[in-house]
Structure 1
C-alpha cells in the first residue's frame, strides 16, 4: 500500500507490522504544521492497509517528540484561523487514535513532551527507554493541557500524583511513568526496538478479530470518560491561547532560543569539542 504522508512521518512495512516514525530528528521531532496533519491522517491510512496487523510508533534520532514546534506555535499569536484549525486537528488526532482498530506500541526512545507525550500515552502499550521521559509543560507556557494531559492522565494515574506533574510540567522519568501507569515497562535503549518488534510479532499472531474487538471494548471506556473533559479542555486551551500571559511566555522562549543559538555560533571549535 502507498501511504500519502509528508516526509515528517514515515511508515515502514515489516510483514504485518507497520513502523510509524516521527521523522524530524534535527528538530527533536517537534510537531509542525505538516507533522500535525500527518498525525491526524496516518491512522485511517494504516487501517485501510489490509496487510497491517500492529503498529510500532517511535521517533527518529534522540527524541520521541519534543512537542509543538516553537515557530509554528508562535505563528498562532497573530493567526486565529490557523490556531483554531490546529486545535480542531489536535482533537482529530486523539479521536483517530481511540478509533484506530489495530494495537499500537509506542517505542518511546527519548523525550516525549506535550503532544508527543499525549500520543505516546494514547498508545495501547508504552515501552520506554530508561533514558526517556514524559512531560506536559502546557501550563508553564500559559496554556491549559487540553490535548490530552488534563483529560487523559487522570484515567490512568492517581489524580493526586498527576496533578503535580500537570501543574508544574516536570519531567517524569521512565521508571516513574511505569509506577504511575503512564507507561507499560522500561527497557535498555539498545533493546527498545527489538523488544517492540518481539511484542508486535506476538500480537500480530493473535486471532485478529478477537484482538481488535478487545481493543474496541477497552477504548469504549476511554471514549465515554473523555467526552466531557476533552471538549472542556480544548475550549479552555483556545481561551488561554489568546491570553497575554501565553504570548509573553512564548516570546520569552523564542528570545531564549535565539540567545542560545547565537552563543553556539560564537563558540570556537575547540570549545565545542571540550563541551562534548
Structure 2
C-alpha cells in the first residue's frame, strides 16, 4: 500500500522525520469500521518501510475522541457470523503484532475517548500522552464478549494484575488522569497540550541514535511477545463470544442506551 491508498487515516510529514497518522472519521468519533480496522493493521508496515520516517505519532481527528471503538454497523456484521469473526480475528491479531513488530517508535496523542481497537493502538504505542479528561475503557465485556484484543498482552504489564482484572471484567471507564496514576499511559495533560507534547517527544526520539532506540524498543517488546499465547487464546475466546447470545443482547443494549440483560446472567 501507499499512503494515498488509505481512506480513513490521514498523514502529515514533518521535516524532522516525524509522521503524524490521524484516525480520520470525526463524524462518528473516529469509530473503526471494517475498512479502518484493516487499515490499522497495514499502516505500521507502510510507515516502517518508509526511509523518510523516524517516528510515528498517532492521534484522532477532531476534539472529541481518539477513537470511540468499533462502528456498531461493523460490530453487527460480526454477531452470529463465523466467517466475519474469523476475518476479524486475523485482523485483530495483525493489528497487535504489527504494532509490536514496527521497529520505529510510536507515540500516541490520545486527545479524547479511546475504546476498543482505538485503545489498542493508543496503549500499545511506546509512549502515550492522554488528555486529563479523556475517558477510556476496554469495553468488551459491555458488549458481552471477552476482553480479547490488546488487553491481556499489555494491561497486566502496565498497571498490574489486580487493576487489570477489575477494569477489564467490569468495563468501567477511567479518565486520563487515572490512567496515568495506574501506569496505563506515560503522561496525562490538559487536552490542548497533548498533541504538542507528543510531537515534542517524537522530535526528541527522531534526533537520537535510531539503531539504539529501535533496538531498545524491540528488546522491551519481548515482554509482550512472551504473552503471545495468552493473547492468542483471549482473542479466540472473544471471537467465540460474538457467536453467542450475550453479544446480540450487548449490542442491542448499546444501540438503545440501556442496561444489558445478558442471557448468561439469568
Scaled by the length of structure 1, the TM-score of the pair is 0.89
Larger relative contact order, structure 1 or 2 (CA cutoff 8 Å, min sep 6): 2
Cα deviation 1:42-94 (Å, max 9, x = unaligned): 01100111010001100001100011111110012253212210111010000
Question: Contact 1:130–1:186 (CA<8 Å) still a contact in 2?
Answer: yes
Once the 2 structures are TM-superposed, how far is the Cα of residue 221 of structure 1 from its aligned partner? 1.8
Gaps spanning 5+ residues in structure 1: where? 258-276
- Displaced runs of 4+ in structure 1, greater than 3 A? none
Determine the structure 1 residue equivalent to 2:264. Answer: none
Q: Distance in 2 between matches of 1:2 and 1:150?
A: 32
Determine the structure 1 residue equivalent to 2:5. Answer: 5
Gaps spanning 5+ residues in structure 2: where? 259-266
Determine the structure 2 residue equivalent to 1:152. Answer: 154
Once the 2 structures are TM-superposed, how far is the Cα of residue 162 of structure 1 from its aligned partner? 1.6
Aligned residue for 1:64, secondary structure, equals strand
Determine the structure 2 residue equivalent to 1:31. Answer: 32
Q: Distance in 1 between matches of 2:122 and 2:208?
A: 23
Matched, 1:43 2:31: no
Indicate which of 67, 81, 84 corresponds to 1:82: 84
Q: How many residues align?
A: 256
Q: 1:2 to 1:116 in 2, by over 3 A?
A: closer
Once the 2 structures are TM-superposed, how far is the Cα of residue 216 of structure 1 from its aligned partner? 1.0
Q: Distance in 1 between matches of 2:20 and 2:224?
A: 25
Determine the structure 1 residue equivalent to 2:262. Answer: none
Q: Distance in 1 between matches of 2:2 and 2:152?
A: 36
Aligned residue for 1:96, secondary structure, equals helix
Determine the structure 2 residue equivalent to 1:206. Answer: 208
Determine the structure 2 residue equivalent to 1:98. Answer: 100
Question: Contact 1:114–1:137 (CA<8 Å) still a contact in 2?
Answer: yes
Q: Distance in 1 between matches of 2:96 and 2:5?
A: 18
Once the 2 structures are TM-superposed, how far is the Cα of residue 187 of structure 1 from its aligned partner? 1.4
Q: Distance in 2 between matches of 1:50 and 1:5?
A: 18
Q: Which moved more, 1:160-169 or 1:41-50?
A: 160-169
Scaled by the length of structure 2, the TM-score of the pair is 0.92
Matched, 1:241 2:242: yes
Determine the structure 1 residue equivalent to 2:263. Answer: none
Determine the structure 1 residue equivalent to 2:190. Answer: 188
Question: Contact 1:21–1:58 (CA<8 Å) still a contact in 2?
Answer: yes
Q: Distance in 2 between matches of 1:243 and 1:135?
A: 22
Determine the structure 2 residue equivalent to 1:262. Answer: none
Larger Rg: 1
Once the 2 structures are TM-superposed, how far is the Cα of residue 4 of structure 1 from its aligned partner? 4.2
Question: Contact 1:74–1:251 (CA<8 Å) still a contact in 2?
Answer: no
Matched, 1:230 2:231: yes
Question: Contact 2:136–2:175 (CA<8 Å) still a contact in 1?
Answer: yes
Q: Distance in 2 between matches of 1:3 and 1:151?
A: 29
